Structure 1
Amino acid sequence: MKLALFDLDHTLIPFDSGMAWTRFLVARGVLSEDAESVYLGYCQQYVDGSLDIRELHQVSVAPLARFGLAVLRQWAAEFEAEMAPRVPPEMRALVRRHQGEGHLCAIVTATTWLIAEPFGRLFGVPDVIATPSLVVDGALDGAIDGDPCYGAHKLMHVKRWLAARALSLDTLEQSWFYSDSISDLPLLGAVSNPVAVCPDARLRAQALQAGWPIFERA
């Protein structure tokens, strides 16, 4: 068995899915017009280390708590249709190449499942391992249910997903993980074929030092 894993934001897609989702909701009047700048400010705090991923998830998801899951899923379907033209053909081809060779494929992302699953459908990847959101009385309450799919926890989520299929990274014939971020170093280091995709500066330095291939999107 061979495995191919793909990060989402700035890897399979050349943009931040959370920002795209925010703009989508602003355009529909669900969020206020300043939501985009507010989200960007939180993202900047997250990148510079002054905001924890749980806090970022809270501020991103909490405004949707007043809507039921049925409404959110309908919006997610509309969001999927809007995102379809923005999927890079070369990344879709990369995924299809792995699928065509019979590899087990999954998208693994820190993004909340509500935003990530539409991209799973766009790429034809049924298995999406994303940050789980806590559901209370049929609605999201903003909290993460368990551990975020981020950093070392991303590796943990992958291990659990594989274990449910009676598989493990240690026993797979080969495994790939494509990512742009140094935060994914735990999972990159756990696969047999790590690939840096348009990597950030720290991951680029790591890839060059380790001799990992670097994939530059067109």
Structure 2
Amino acid sequence: MKTKVALFDLDHTLLPIDSDYSWGEFTQQIGWTDPVDFKRRNDEFYAHYVAGTLDVHDYVRFAVEALRVRGPAAYEEAHARFMREWIAPVMHPQALALVRSHQQQGDLVAIVTATNELVTRPIANAFGVPELLAVELERDASGWITGEIAGVPSMREGKVLRVDQWLAKRGLDWLDVETTFYSDSLNDLPLLERVEYPVATNPDPRLRTIALERGWRILDLFPRQ
């Protein structure tokens, strides 16, 4: 019997929003960033992400700079507020139920996201998913972030490699598992093509077209925002 593995993208898949972009908007709201310049650059980076042209290293440096400067205590306080005000209200019951259904069947469940670990770890915990493959951040001697990425970023082809590594740590490889991956984005095409059961979930128009052409399952949990 193969081990069943259920992999979930996060933004626009389990959540109807982009948590990374929303975190940027939240930092503007609480006065951590310049409301004009940060929004302009955040919008530019997000447009590159949608187009599949994002330089993830440049983006992460930009996205975590306010966190890096303020330190871990300020992060903990701010992110708790972010969870209450921005994330909890958009955690749809149907998304929670989908995750629970795989867990109840005994599947190995993980969230695989291109958003960094500081933004997504509390969100994964709220979904009850301890296995998180997110963009990991380099730490300095004090244990706080430097602004650089550690290891392989979990984006595009990097998601496949990160899942490879994650399986290997458990003594597994692709031949040992039966994999399902839920994603909304064409950016995730490499991992969707690697698994046995790709599920285009709340798909963007380009992914919806591909899913229809290839006969992939399409799942609309909620309208895209």
Q: Calculate the TM-score normalised by the size of structure 2.
A: 0.89
Q: Which of 181, 191, 194 is the aligned partner of 1:190?
A: 194
Q: Which residue of 1 aligns with 2:166?
A: 161
Matches within 5 A, 1:115-130: 115-130=119-134
**Offset at 1:79?**
2.1
Show structure 1 runs of 4+ deviating over 4 A. none
Question: Residues 75-94 of structure 1: matches in 2 within 5 Å?
Answer: 75-82=78-85, 83-94=87-98
Distance (whole Å) between structure 1 residues aligned to residue 100 and residue 89 of structure 2: 17
CA distance in 1, matches of 2:21, 2:158: 23
- Listed as ranges, the matches of 1:1-218 within 5 Å are 1-34=3-36, 35-48=38-51, 51-82=54-85, 83-137=87-141, 138-172=143-177, 174-218=178-222
Q: Is the 8 A contact 1:46 1:56 kept in 2?
A: no
> Cα distance, 1:136 vs. partner?
1.9
Instruction: For residue 70 of structure 2, give the secondary structure of its aligned residue in structure 1.
Output: coil
Structure-1 separation of matches of 2:8 and 2:218: 14
- Identity across aligned pairs (percent)? 41
Q: In angstroms, what is the RMSD of aligned CA positions?
A: 1.7
What is the CA–CA distance in structure 1 between the aligned matches of 2:53 and 2:117, rounded to whole Å?
24
Distance 1:85 1:30 in 2: 23
Superposition TM-score, scaled by structure 1 size: 0.92
Residues 18-39 of structure 1, C-alpha deviations (whole Å, 9 max, x = no match): 1221222222222222233431
In the alignment, residue 76 of structure 2 is paired with which amino acid?
R
| Partner secondary structure for residue 195 of structure 2 | coil
Distance across 2 between alignment mates of 1:105 and 1:50: 29
CA distance in 1 between partners of 2:49 and 2:123 (Å)? 23
Structure 1 letter corresponding to 2:89: P
Any gaps of 5 or more consecutive residues in structure 2? Answer: none
Q: How far off its partner does 1:163 sit?
A: 1.0
Give the 3-state SS of the residue equivalent to 2:134 in structure 1.
Answer: strand
- What's the CA shift string for 1:79-124, capped at 9, x where partnerless? 2233112111111111011111111101000000011112101111
Which 10-residue stretch deviates more, 200-209 or 175-184?
Answer: 200-209
- Structure 2 SS opposite 1:118: helix
Cα distance in 2 between the residues matched to 1:46 and 1:180 = 13
1:6/1:136 CA distance change after superposition, 3 Å: same
Aligned residue-pair number: 217
